Chains A and B, each alone.
Chain A
Amino acid sequence: MRALLQLEVRNSEGALDRIFGVLRRRGYRIVRLAADRFEEDACFDCVMVLESERPVSALSGQLRKLFDVRSLHVSEQCDAAPAFASEMKRGESLEEGKAPIVAVRNPAEISAASPMS
């Protein structure tokens, strides 16, 4: 299966390591990935496309348990979802000077977007 995950992650020590560790250990491979900080750097927006022989439902339970994961949205339609939770919240008012990782609608564009601002 392939799935698109959008996560809001508390920017605490090693939070992203922890998430990547769960992906690796539970048998999910990252196909595409982008992340950006928001809320005065207190949080990460993270969007990724994963593939695995295992169902994504088995992963989402594990990710939701992590204390740093504030929200998780999973979709098996990898090519139809907007990329960033913060984008959806902040609407069009993207700060100037930020990397243009806006409303990615197609996984191919996610890899094209620069992941870090």
Chain B
Amino acid sequence: MTGAEALLRALEREGVEVIFGYPGGAILPVYDALTQSPIRHILVRHEQGAALAADGYARATGKVGVCMATSGPGATNLVTGIANAYMDSVPVVAITGQVPTALIGTDAFQEVDIYGITMPIVKHSFLVRRVAELPAIVHEAFRIARSGRRGPVLIDLPKDVASQVAGTCGEATEASENEALRPPPDELKRAAHLLRESQRPLAYVGGGVRWANAVQEFRAFIQTTQIPVVSTLMGLGALPARDELFLGMLGMHGLKAANFAVQSSDLLVAIGVRFDDRATGKLAEFAPHAKVIHLDADAAEVSKLRKADVPLLGDLRTSLRSLSLPLAVDAWRAECLANKAGYAWNYNAPTDGIYAPRFLKELSEAAGDETIFVCDVGQHQMWVAQHCGFSRPEQHLSSGGLGAMGYGLPAAIGAQFGHPQARVINVAGDGSMLMNVQELATVKRYGLPVKILLLDNQSLGMVRQWQEIFFAGRYSAVDLSDNPDFVRLAESFGIPAFCVEKKEEVPGAIQRLLQEPGPLLVHARIDPRANVWPLVPPGRSNSAMLEGAHR
């Protein structure tokens, strides 16, 4: 057995069914071994697509996503995708070919220090120096990626190690999976006490809940306590959007009822969140009257930005179960729900054109709970978060922490491989679409029924909006009015497409998006002047929400 075969055998043992990758010189031994492996290799058209597809696969399935590239440029092309998984705590294992051991450090052809380059954006990394270590390294890499706070792990594999005969390549010793820590009973008691004392408690929920497999416990906690809920971008779906107690996303583009609830709460139950600046606005003025109970798997997050009055480290499920107490907070709940009703969105914008929030809301209502929405980054991403309703976190894939344009299409591809039967819709912007447009070839090659809703405002809309508001309308490098013809572009990849621009055309477009058996691109022209509201100016308190015209 060669090192490459040992690698694939070890991946099979971890249950890997699909690898997203792109071949090249240093990784050739692995591609050779792939011809004899049951693992399915998906050829993307840019390594960034491989890393983001692995990320999308992981988010949609909860399993570890795997991507692979050659040394040098292949490896550097993975970097954005690895950073994306790191920022949103997504379990991904990235495998890179490396120049032969003896050449490492000599500036050999296609040598880059990917181990060094990725150090700040991986949970851990391995450079395989000896073939005998491979099974144990692979096992350890998977264990690290999917334990505690999830994240990406890099395995850099020199070509000589991959070709070396491994002899009897030992199985990895069964390292026991780390039992999640249990929060100490006295802290749980203190937390329960705070909760009982509180008049205005609020749950602030994030992506940590789904990765801790604590969605059920979270819902039971809300069911019992009946406290209102606000969510981060990553936490959407932890509580079904249709739940009465769900006030919406908080933060920079949060809904008013959500931000006001935070500002007047006296106790934040922060669950799997990290007090990110996009969620908190000006930190010193965030939830100024609230004490904080912080539940998280990562000790480094607790009190990192906001001091926790009670830290509950470790298994979220244990904490949530022990905090599930009936509370008497009827007046506060009524106040929050009245705000929610009072600030309910008006979907009748005064326009003959397509009003994106309404399009997305209607699409999401018609699409049902089995549809997975995958966003790119920009205004359209915020509209999806605000106006699509999710009933599970796995239904909403979005590049949160990194905010990487070009995430949508490759991640949708990954999600579709994870759930071949599900309807996967990539909501894209015209700017983002062109960042990984080459993956249309992957959609075509594998006959994936991925749907793309391209919201084309002929500009880098989110940046344009900031220039309009914060730079007195001095527009700089945001005009995309010379976009390609997206319908013909999709068709040239063999993907059917059509264009809509009037609001009367929206119902028909939604129907096609939902009924088309194969891939489809819907090119929706929207008003280039449309903005995302509300907007909290950067560095300001979340109570300073701006609002403007709806187009």
Contact = CB atoms under 8 A, between A and B. Distances in A.
Interface of A: 13-14, 17-18, 21-22, 25, 57-58, 61-62, 64-67
B300 A21 contact: no
Contacts of B301: 61
Interface in B301-358: 301-304
A21 B337 CA distance: 47
19 contacts: A13-B115, A13-B127, A13-B129, A14-B116, A14-B125, A17-B119, A18-B119, A21-B120, A22-B120, A57-B303, A58-B303, A58-B304, A61-B299, A61-B300, A61-B302, A65-B298, A65-B300, A66-B124, A67-B124
B176 to A, nearest CB: 16
A67 B300 contact: no
Contact of B116 (A17, A61, A65): A17
A25 B129 CA distance: 28
Contacts of A14: 115-116, 119, 125, 127
Contacts of B144: 67
Contacts of A13: 115, 126-127, 129
Contact of A61 (B119, B120, B124, B304): B304
Contacts of B115: 13-14
A66 B299 CA distance: 12
A25 B121 CA distance: 11
B126 A64 contact: no
Given A13-B115, A62-B300, A65-B300, 14 more contacts: A13-B129, A14-B115, A17-B116, A17-B119, A18-B119, A21-B119, A57-B303, A58-B304, A61-B301, A64-B300, A65-B298, A65-B299, A67-B124, A67-B144
Majority DSSP secondary structure for residues of A touching B: helix
Nearest to B153: A67
Contacts of A18: 119
Interface in B429-467: none
B161 to A, nearest CB: 13
Which of B115, B298, B304 is packed against the most chain A CB atoms within 10 Å? B304
Nearest to A59: B300
Q: Which 9 residue pairs spanning A and B have beta carbons closest together?
A: A61-B300, A13-B127, A61-B299, A67-B124, A62-B300, A21-B119, A21-B120, A65-B300, A18-B119
Interface string B273-303: 0000000000000000000000000111111
Given A13-B126, A13-B127, A58-B304, A64 B299 contact: yes
Interface string B138-179: 000000100000000000000000000000000000000000
Contacts of B127: 13-14
Contacts of B124: 66-67
A16 to B, nearest CB: 11
Contacts of B300: 58, 61-62, 64-65
Interface string B92-130: 000000000000000000000001100110001111010
B141 to A, nearest CB: 11
A25 B298 contact: no
A81 to B, nearest CB: 23
A21 B122 CA distance: 12
A35 to B, nearest CB: 18
A14 B299 CA distance: 24
A51 B368 CA distance: 54
Nearest to B304: A58
Nearest to A60: B300
Contacts of B119: 14, 17-18, 21
Which of A13, A22, A58 is packed against the most chain B CB atoms within 10 Å? A13
A18 B115 CA distance: 10
A13 B115 CA distance: 9
Contacts of B302: 61
A54 to B, nearest CB: 10
A76 to B, nearest CB: 16
A65 B148 CA distance: 10
A17 B301 CA distance: 22
Contacts of A62: 300
Contacts of B116: 14, 17
A75 B298 CA distance: 22
A12 to B, nearest CB: 8
Nearest to B151: A65
A76 B343 CA distance: 50
A64 B144 CA distance: 14
Nearest to A12: B126
Contacts of B304: 58, 61
B322 to A, nearest CB: 23
A57 B311 CA distance: 14
Nearest to A18: B119
Contacts of A64: 299-300
A60 B116 CA distance: 22
Nearest to B156: A13
Contacts of A22: 120
A113 B127 CA distance: 32
B134 to A, nearest CB: 14
Contacts of A67: 124, 144
Nearest to B149: A65
Nearest to A65: B300
Contacts of A58: 300, 303-304
B152 to A, nearest CB: 14
A107 B300 CA distance: 27
Contact of A25 (B120, B126, B299): B120
A13 B113 CA distance: 12
Contacts of B120: 21-22, 25
A14 B300 CA distance: 22
A117 B126 CA distance: 27
Contacts of A25: 120
